[in-house]
Chains A and B, each alone.
Chain A
């Protein structure tokens, strides 16, 4: 780690994928500041392992990000503020009100279920890919997704199109 070409490759990777990774981090944390912290930490750890991961850095960094998110804690928590207090976009009509409720409900999901929702329905990963990233079985991904959708009161029968590249 640390050669000129490594630096160049790492910088190019960050330039190309930083915003996409930040979006995932934001959906996990629902807080712009913490999302940036999460991304920065994951990239730093990715750089430490760069010589081993440069063939597929995005998968590795995304894995670090999700796992770091799941185990994140702060030494001092008394300045932490609920993310719900952050400014959010307003919703005017009935349709957007429903979406606002859904966003709120997403924030109430346990962290593991939220991670599965983000990976499956935002990242559009397959169940197998999600399982690999999370280090669990496909069955676990299925059950966690089902629990999450139930909590969000989403009817899987209303699915508009097959999900992911392997469907469900």
Chain B
């Protein structure tokens, strides 16, 4: 196989991609930028620098993106005598480990209860990248923190079926710049398994819990709406008496590849996403009073397509 064939494949798949949301793209980006600034102020912590050469520098670190390989910690480190949050937002701690003096931590998670897994790295700041895999795949990567996060940086909610088998959660760090030690002084790695709360509701077939923690605050389930199957539009209105958050859901067993869902909050287009079994992260409804979310499917509407909106208010 040749390089030319590789290039052909890349172009075969990419050249048909067109930004069909171009008309509102710049305005939506500016709105999202406002949200980024707002979140920075709200959480009062340093947001990671977006241009830090994490990827490239991480490549220097001996295959940090290799999901299956193992690394040889310079030092196995030792358990850190630190408490892990025993509960938050309805989650109850099942097992945890915090280590220091090492660049890797593996937590074996036995089959059992409906589980949510959490990972964190702190003490060294964004000069290091935390990588996390579950059974050798995803969930992802993030910068290490300088200060200990309240709960974690990465979380992965196991489905009922996934909770029925053993899992291995693996964390490791890589330096983002040359000449940094593999095992920096002061680094802490934490892995934790929490029992998920009872499912409070099912929206578009996806689990919804009574509480979610967003930027350090717990938000309570206040209301939710779901469209009837096959409906093109869902309009959901909620009167906020305090800070509120919105989660967006959709589902369809066989969505057409061109089917998209447009999200409007208070008449302002927020984003588009592809119809399917997805949920969106939280949108903030930042003032008291009525808020309206409209979800609209563009393209063909599969007969089993459903849309959902979950409203949460801050728990005082």
Contacts and interface: CB of A to CB of B under 8 A. Distances in A.
Which secondary structure dominates chain A's binding surface? helix
A89 B273 CA distance: 20
Interface in B46-73: 48, 50-60, 63-67
A154 B18 CA distance: 29
Given A36-B273, A77-B139, A110 B66 contact: yes
B64 A135 contact: no
A166 interface: no
Contact of B277 (A66, A81, A102): A81
Interface residues of B, number: 75
Interface in A71-112: 71-81, 86-87, 89, 98-99, 102-103, 106, 110-112
Contacts of A11: 26-27
B89 to A, nearest CB: 12
A99 B7 contact: no
B68 to A, nearest CB: 9
B9 A103 contact: yes
A128 interface: no
B11 A122 contact: yes
A77 B143 CA distance: 18
Nearest to B40: A48
Interface of B: 1-15, 17-19, 21-22, 25-30, 32-33, 35-37, 48, 50-60, 63-67, 129, 132, 138-143, 153-159, 206-207, 257, 271-274, 276-279, 281
Interface of A: 7, 10-11, 13-15, 18-19, 22-24, 26-27, 31-33, 35-37, 39-41, 43-48, 60, 63-64, 66-81, 86-87, 89, 98-99, 102-103, 106, 110-113, 115, 117-118, 121-122, 131, 133-137, 140, 144, 149, 152-156, 158-161, 163
